[in-house]
Amino acid sequence: MGRMAGELMDNKGRGEAGWNWPAIHPEGRKFGLIAAAASLGTALLAWETIAWPLAFLTLGVLAFFRDPERVVPQDERAIVSPADGLVSLIMQVEPPAELQGLDGSGANGLPARPVTRISIFMSVFDVHINRSPIGGIVRRLVYVPGKFMNADLDKASEENERQHILVERADGVMIGFTQIAGLVARRIVPFVKPGDFLAVGQRVGLIRFGSRVDVYLPAGTDSKVLVGQKVIAGETVLAEIGQQLLIEGVAQ
């Protein structure tokens, strides 16, 4: 039995869980239909050498745009992952200029000093729906055109096509994160706009076909995840606000 959307789950056994086929996001249905139509058309023409690869392509497209439900931690200290993927970089850097200082409305942004940045690389096999790491109001959404370099490179944060999002909680804590296009990704699709109120883990957008998301933690907060760790959007806790702690892991 699948659980209902919005059902409260806890670590004491409350709630019901069951496996369901993940939904396909509407953004991907048209691509799936195009691939399926092409596969069916070539099959009717008896072009089997083309029809079978197109059938597998259809399945791949539908899998790429899958949009599974997630059980989002409801802890005011938690910053959850905005993306599925591999933690490829953890560095001390200044936030992007687009997320710093005052904006046109006079609202404050992130301070111009180094903070911990967690970079999450999404392969074409990962879910590409991105989610908000905290609950709050969208203060900024800034699109920056750019290149389509390998998103695994550090300089992709400054040179690739990207979209910056700044979310502020009711207590003033702000988290900035950046959707970055990669070698294959060619479009960043936002689901939100400035002024929107978000719940933690709420869907905010997607990046088509392989990319990366950078998260800028508040000052005085360290990562709880490790380089090389696999994280899940809306579920994995990247950090706890105000916690600074060295955590080590061993690849095996």
| Single-letter code of the amino acid located at 98 | E
Q: What is the largest CA-CA distance in the chain?
A: 64
Query: Known catalytic residue: 105?
Result: no
Distance (Å, whole) CA 250 – CA 252: 6
Catalytic residue among 81, 119, 157, 211: 211
Distances (CA, A) of 180 to 141, 183, 215: 13, 10, 11
Mind telling me the catalytic residues?
A: 211
